[in-house]
Structure 1
Amino acid sequence: MPGDRRNVTYLALGDSFSSGEGDTDKNPVTGRKYYRQWTDVNEDKAKGAPKEKCHVSTRSYPYKLANWMGLGSGPSAAWASVACSGATVYDMNWDNSGGYEGQDSPLGRLHGYDNKGTLQKMALNEMIPGRVKQIEFVKKYQPKVITLTAGGNDVGFGKKIKDCVHYIKSIGTCDWAKDEMNTLGSQIKGQFDRLVGLYKELKAASPKSKIYAIGYPQFITDTEPAACGLNAGAIDLDERRMIVRATQYMNKVIEAAARKAGVKYVDISQALNGGKMCEKHQIYMTGIVGLGEQESYHPNKLGHVKIFTEIAKQLDHEDLSTYSKYPTAGDESVNAPSSIYFDKGAPSSVNTTMLANSKPSKGSKQRVALAKSSLQPGSSARVEIRSKPVDLGSYTVSSDGSMRETITIPDNIPAGYHTLFVYGKSVSGEDIKITQTLLVTGKDKEDLDDDGVKDANQPCGAFLKASGKDEDLDGIDDACDPEVTDPILYTARNGKSEFNEDEGKIYVFRNTRAAKLTGVNNDYIDKSSNKDNTEALIASSLTEDTKNLSFSKLVIAKEDDKDNNISKGMPIVLAKDINEKCYALGPEDYLSPALRPGSNGYKPRGLIKLNRLPKGVSCEE
């Protein structure tokens, strides 16, 4: 865990595209995702522990940048990432800093905690994101380098995408790609002034910092023919075009704001080419994890490698702290750019949080709350919810321009994503739309998608329709599998004490779902340590030279190597000793069926240390 540091060269700020929450793999050593401590924690209010879901992956691009700059790791590292999934410009700037109660608007994750001050002080000292404004870290540590992504959550882009891919609406194109494209464009254009303000505030907080405004990568293709996997959701060509064009426009706004503020814009729009959603090989993106989950539609670990590579390329492979082409000043003549796809003279539009509960149930009463100066005082504002428009009434705006009214979520709208609209007049008297995308649930907490089947009994849970396919044989239906890979034939890990295994040994298992591919269909399964009954133990560390090694990864041999006792298709374990030296191990008789201990013919099969590492492999990622 990061410790209290006084010498910070690099700080990574931003949202989920900087935190790395699309890295959904589990570390085979720990059995947990690669998210850093304090960034994937459920709330336990009785213990004074808030919900912490910033999802900072230790394999995200800031970690790779820091390694490239030689800034170290662990408590002595001269850098930190305080990026946080869901962060908006408000979570990064000085606005209401003294009253800030953490991310997760409108109340904040620390709201109601008596130990809020202690939690925030701890966050600043130990680099825990999501509890204090990100600019607070900048002010305290005065880093030489800052990177950040910002603006996407202010537009509500992630929820708009989920609205479009929701399978209930697969019969037609979503509004954001049709009637409300101009609304989306207005919201994107509206980020210009906010981003300029953020960049200038960061410069003022740490005048000597070099600030790099990272754009967003194009993560889905809008070309035909497309190869959208089942985990891309129900998304059509018009919706894909909207996503591509909106990302392009968002990047134009970020670039213009950076020029005006005098910080460096870094274009990574093409970083994921060749592995985007709906391309033939979707190897750089995580698909749908669950329709209400944060991690869907984000770059995975390979995607972050590509983003890091593109950043280095765009900066001529120079060190970010000494980059020779960093702008010397801003250009105040720069204005918000227009878009031929979105800028159609649409009314001003703002995406904001109006309902504290973003997942209201059908028939529930909800409080619509808009801050002061949101609307023209004394004017009339109409509230509507759609997919299919349902009028929820007209209300008079308060004398201070705020609005606080109670609405009822209609009983007769389908469970799924919908958008709440408030139509009114701005303070200056112009027409304005204010929006918030909501996930409306059924009344039964065990059947949130209201389809008559308990969510626990659906392969993909609520809202996602299972496909009945499992191409990679990992036990996850492809419609909700974050990454559909080549079939998984073998897995390996260090022993787990909860299974009465030796933690100093490495164990290799065969995936019994893959019997048709391995040719072995009579494996013995130890049901006491395999809840899903699909892992057959085929080898473990038996000899002294294969014990007390730390499992790194498993690869499958692509060709025979007689000199190294390797045959094609053989699982090869890569492991490190205490000195970080890498070794290759192979199982004895890996094609023989796993036998039950004590049965006739049973003998423990071990791992054999190979003569050398196979060509082209190492213990590194």
Structure 2
Amino acid sequence: MRSPLIAALTAAPLLIAAAPAQAAPGPVRYAALGDSFAAGAGAGQYDPASGACHRSARSYPQLWSSAHGPADFLFAACSGALTADVLRDQVPRVPADAGLVTLTIGGNDLAFGDAAVACLQPFTTDGHCDRALDESERRLREELPDRLATLYRALDAQAPAARVVVTGYPHLLGAGASCPVAPEPRRARFNALTDRLDDLIEAQAAKQGFHYADVRAAFDGHEACKGAAGEWIHPVTLPLWESFHPKAEGQVGGYLPSVSDAALG
């Protein structure tokens, strides 16, 4: 006759084996917010239902969603969006239980597009470029820090458990590139503005506890005017709203890996 102790030890593995396995975490709800760089303007294959928002099937949010199969995917990014537009129109749509939110915003608040037109195309004067960049730098210094902080706080309150990944912007034209679009001094000053914008976005994101995805290294060597085979950024093109935006290659090769690292890190 076995002792009660031996019987208990013998039965223990059966009890352990019979215990239900802990369920693996399910897919998260994902919300993609922001401007044309998040919407995928310039990448083609636009959703007709998105109209002037120009949401692309080749955008980094759509690529992420297709690869990871979130439980729910809100694609709210829209071309031309300002921080105020995201705050008013996009943040309230984010599910309170979202697990991941990505955001690209800030360029339009600086009139980034106007500065690009003034500095990065033929037949514009240095004075026109300088005035446009002076205004962008004023907005970056005096207006954008508070706008980003307000937006980030609202997003944090809307989805408090979400991992929030905010991205920066790439250099649009590479330094040293042989390019008739703009002389080197203009490109250097425009790239310096991009660097200051990215630095501000990163700093404000850190204050809120968000994660930052820096895309500049990924785009290095693939800026406009590098030759068609190596370009991930459109030069001046038609339709004009695609100019100085990432091509499909820039979304998949530049934005997607940078965002993935920040989202999964």
User: Could you tell me the TM-score, scaled by structure 1's length?
Assistant: 0.36
Which residue pairs with 2:29 in the alignment?
9
SS at match of 1:299: coil
After superposition, what is the alpha-carbon deviation per residue over 1:188-245, rounded to whole angstroms, capped at 9, x for unaligned?
A: 223111101101100111111111111112221122xx232xxxx6311111112211
SS at match of 2:218: coil
Query: Among 232, 235, 243, which residue is 2:190 paired with?
Result: 243
Which residue pairs with 2:3 in the alignment?
none
Pairwise CA distance, 1:8: 6.5
Does the CA-based 8 Å contact 1:218-1:270 persist in structure 2? Answer: no
SS at match of 1:270: helix
Pairwise CA distance, 1:167: 3.6
Pairwise CA distance, 1:168: 3.7
After superposition, what is the alpha-carbon deviation per residue over 1:573-600, rounded to whole angstroms, capped at 9, x for unaligned?
A: xxxxxxxxxxxxxxxxxxxxxxxxxxxx
Structure-2 change in CA distance of 1:180 and 1:293 (3 Å): closer
Query: Among 227, 247, 251, which residue is 2:178 paired with?
Result: 227
Does the CA-based 8 Å contact 2:40-2:60 persist in structure 1? Answer: yes
Ranges in structure 2 where 5+ consecutive residues have no aligned partner: 1-26
After superposition, what is the alpha-carbon deviation per residue over 1:394-442, rounded to whole angstroms, capped at 9, x for unaligned?
A: xxxxxxxxxxxxxxxxxxxxxxxxxxxxxxxxxxxxxxxxxxxxxxxxx
Does the CA-based 8 Å contact 1:221-1:240 persist in structure 2? Answer: yes
State the distance in 1 between where 2:131 and 2:42 align.
30
Does the CA-based 8 Å contact 2:173-2:225 persist in structure 1? Answer: yes
Q: Greater relative contact order (Cα 8 A, min sep 6): structure 1 or 2?
A: 2
Structure that is richer in strand per residue: 1
- Aligned AA (1:185): E
State the distance in 1 between where 2:86 and 2:97 align.
15
Could you say which structure has the larger radius of gyration? 1
After superposition, what is the alpha-carbon deviation per residue over 1:503-539, rounded to whole angstroms, capped at 9, x for unaligned?
A: xxxxxxxxxxxxxxxxxxxxxxxxxxxxxxxxxxxxx
User: Could you tell me the TM-score, scaled by structure 2's length?
Assistant: 0.81
Structure-2 change in CA distance of 1:282 and 1:134 (3 Å): same
State the distance in 1 between where 2:149 and 2:41 align.
26
The within-5 A match list for 1:532-543 is none
Which residue pairs with 1:35 in the alignment?
46
Structure-2 change in CA distance of 1:299 and 1:174 (3 Å): farther
State the distance in 2 between where 1:300 and 1:135 align.
27
SS at match of 1:298: coil
- Aligned AA (1:289): T
SS at match of 2:219: coil
State the distance in 1 between where 2:54 and 2:216 align.
22
Pairwise CA distance, 1:179: 5.3
SS at match of 1:86: coil
State the distance in 2 between where 1:180 and 1:238 align.
14
The within-5 A match list for 1:41-60 is 52-60=51-59
Does the CA-based 8 Å contact 2:36-2:81 persist in structure 1? Answer: yes
Structure-2 change in CA distance of 1:160 and 1:180 (3 Å): closer
State the distance in 2 between where 1:168 and 1:241 align.
18
After superposition, what is the alpha-carbon deviation per residue over 1:60-84, rounded to whole angstroms, capped at 9, x for unaligned?
A: 111222233233xxxxx62131110
Structure 1 residue 310 corresponds to structure 2 residue 262:
no
Does the CA-based 8 Å contact 1:221-1:277 persist in structure 2? Answer: yes
SS at match of 1:271: helix
Structure 1 residue 289 corresponds to structure 2 residue 244:
no
RMSD, aligned CA: 2.2
Query: Among 140, 146, 159, which residue is 2:114 paired with?
Result: 159
Query: Among 18, 24, 27, which residue is 2:38 paired with?
Result: 18
Pairwise CA distance, 1:181: 4.1
Pairwise CA distance, 1:275: 1.7
Which residue pairs with 1:183 in the alignment?
135
SS at match of 1:83: coil
After superposition, what is the alpha-carbon deviation per residue over 1:440-462, rounded to whole angstroms, capped at 9, x for unaligned?
A: xxxxxxxxxxxxxxxxxxxxxxx
State the distance in 1 between where 2:135 and 2:81 align.
22
After superposition, what is the alpha-carbon deviation per residue over 1:350-400, rounded to whole angstroms, capped at 9, x for unaligned?
A: xxxxxxxxxxxxxxxxxxxxxxxxxxxxxxxxxxxxxxxxxxxxxxxxxxx
State the distance in 1 between where 2:214 and 2:181 align.
29
After superposition, what is the alpha-carbon deviation per residue over 1:112-139, rounded to whole angstroms, capped at 9, x for unaligned?
A: xxxxxxxxxxxxxxxxxxxxx001211x
Pairwise CA distance, 1:283: 2.5
Structure 1 residue 150 corresponds to structure 2 residue 84:
no
Which residue pairs with 1:90 in the alignment?
84
Pairwise CA distance, 1:54: 0.3
State the distance in 2 between where 1:180 and 1:219 align.
16
Does the CA-based 8 Å contact 2:225-2:235 persist in structure 1? Answer: no
Structure-2 change in CA distance of 1:165 and 1:273 (3 Å): closer
- Aligned AA (2:245): H
Does the CA-based 8 Å contact 1:174-1:239 persist in structure 2? Answer: no
Ranges in structure 1 where 5+ consecutive residues have no aligned partner: 1-6, 25-33, 40-51, 72-76, 95-132, 325-621
State the distance in 2 between where 1:21 and 1:180 align.
23
Does the CA-based 8 Å contact 2:115-2:133 persist in structure 1? Answer: no
State the distance in 2 between where 1:188 and 1:282 align.
31
Which residue pairs with 1:270 in the alignment?
217
Which residue pairs with 1:197 in the alignment?
150
State the distance in 1 between where 2:31 and 2:56 align.
15
State the distance in 1 between where 2:78 and 2:28 align.
19
The within-5 A match list for 1:47-446 is 52-71=51-70, 78-94=72-88, 133-138=89-94, 140=95, 142-169=97-124, 172-176=125-129, 178=130, 181-189=133-141, 190-223=143-176, 226-228=177-179, 234-280=181-227, 281-290=229-238, 293-306=240-253, 307-312=255-260, 314-315=261-262, 320=263, 323=264
Pairwise CA distance, 1:185: 1.7
Does the CA-based 8 Å contact 2:39-2:55 persist in structure 1? Answer: yes
Which residue pairs with 2:16 in the alignment?
none
Q: How many residues align?
A: 236
Structure-2 change in CA distance of 1:181 and 1:302 (3 Å): closer
Does the CA-based 8 Å contact 2:118-2:132 persist in structure 1? Answer: no
